[in-house]
Amino acid sequence: DIQMTQSPSSLSASVGDRVTITCRASQSISGHLNWYQQKPGKAPKLLISAASSLHSGVPSRFSGSGSGTDFTLTISSPQPEDFATYYCQQSYSIPLTFGGGTKVEIK
């Protein structure tokens, strides 16, 4: 199985700060990396697919980059509704494993 490691596991940020979350794969996954957002008590939502493609309806303050083994999710100016838990997922090979999650909290 491909292991996905996210860092940090949690962070505190103020509204308007720049937030960066990293995700590392245990082997190269090319650009087959997705990002999801999950709020408490809700199902996850797709934010970004194929490392950098914004899903329909996702605000442009979210962006993704990377290829191979190292990937980044950036929130350029987080809004109150962006405080949530974020997960990366590799879609390179079955099983399609998730990272452990990054909880983004308001400072």
List residues binding another protein (CB under 8 A).
1, 32, 34, 36, 38, 42-46, 49-50, 53, 55, 87, 89, 91, 94-101
Shortest reach from residue 105's CB to another protein, in Å = 15
Could you give the strand order of the β-sheet that contains 10-13, starting from the edge strand earlier in sequence?
10-13, 102-106, 85-90, 33-38, 45-49, 53-54
Question: Could you give phi then psi for residue 80, rounded to 5 degrees?
Answer: -50, -35
Closest approach, Cβ 66 to another protein, in A, equals 15
Residue 10 in contact with residue 103, Cβ under 8 Å?
A: yes
Of 76 and 98, the one with the shorter C-beta distance to another protein is 98
Structure tokens at 31: 């650009």
Least distance in angstroms from the C-beta of 16 to another protein: 28
- Judged by beta carbon, residue 36 or residue 62, the one nearer another protein is 36
